[in-house]
């Protein structure tokens, strides 16, 4: 609804809300913009509804002084719901299920990183990519500028079974331009 209102207000869009959300380019737009990049690989992720906290982390990480502004709002406040429900809401949720999952994942990741930020601790960009009877594999690198590889612990039932260093080259991640990306594998 927010995007639709923006298109009407700023782009002269004159079709119905239903026509807007039924159009394929307007479905799962956030997921499409990532082009398959995992959220865990993104350096700093902001959440609109948590704009102040996002800006605080941005300022700290990059030493930028960006003022808190609230210019581009289609509602009176971030906690105010957009005015649609029933079939429109059901259909929008159905057509944008991938983005809704992405948003839930982004919120969880944001909360983890915010807690580490508040505790003055660095975070790791990392993801488990495979886990089966034969192999556990993933990738990891530090979120700050340290050049050291990440030590990964493999826990089984809460007990550390093995520690590995994420040092193997991952050519499939080069498009994300990570610093010193390393893979870890536990056969």
**Tell me: the pLDDT tens digits for 160-180?**
999 989 888 878 888 877 765
Of 67, 95, 118, which residue constitutes the final position of a domain? 118
104 and 172, same domain (yes or no): no
H/E element holding 78? none
For residues 104 and 138, membership in a common domain is answered with no
Give the HSE-up count for residue 187: Cα atoms under 13 Å, Cβ half-sphere: 0
My answer on whether 60 and 17 are in the same domain is: yes
Q: Are residues 61 and 84 in the same domain?
A: yes
- Rounded (10°) angle between helices 97-118 and 86-95: 80
The order of strands in the sheet holding 182-186 is: 124-131, 136-142, 182-186
Give pLDDT tens digits for 78-97.
455 556 778 999 999 999 99
Domains of the chain: total: 2
From 118, 136, 166, the end of a domain falls on 118
- If asked whether residues 135 and 113 sit together in one domain, one would say no
Phi, psi of 66 (to 5 degrees): -110, 125
Residue 140 is part of which domain span?
124-186
Q: Which of the residue ranges 5-9, 47-51, 100-104, 168-172 would you say has the lowest mean pLDDT?
A: 168-172
pLDDT of residue 187: 47
Do 27 and 60 belong together in one domain? Answer: yes
């Amino acid at each position: 609804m927010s995007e639709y209102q923006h298109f009407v207000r700023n782009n002269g869009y004159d079709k119905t809300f239903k026509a807007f959300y039924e159009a394929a380019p307007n479905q799962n737009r956030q997921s499409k913009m990532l082009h398959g990049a995992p959220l865990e690989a993104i350096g700093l992720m902001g959440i609109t509804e948590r704009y102040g906290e996002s800006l605080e982390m941005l300022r700290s990480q990059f030493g930028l002084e960006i003022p808190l502004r609230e210019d581009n709002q289609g509602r009176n406040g971030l906690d105010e719901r957009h005015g649609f429900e029933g079939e429109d809401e059901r259909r929008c949720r159905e057509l944008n299920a991938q983005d809704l999952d992405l948003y839930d994942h982004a919120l969880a990741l944001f909360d983890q990183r915010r807690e580490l930020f508040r505790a003055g601790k660095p975070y790791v960009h990392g993801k488990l990519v495979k886990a089966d009877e034969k192999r556990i594999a993933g990738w990891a690198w530090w979120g700050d500028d340290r050049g050291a590889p990440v030590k990964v612990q493999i826990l089984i039932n809460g007990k550390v079974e093995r520690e590995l260093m994420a040092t193997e080259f991952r050519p499939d991640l080069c498009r994300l331009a990570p610093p010193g990306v390393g893979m870890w594998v536990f056969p």
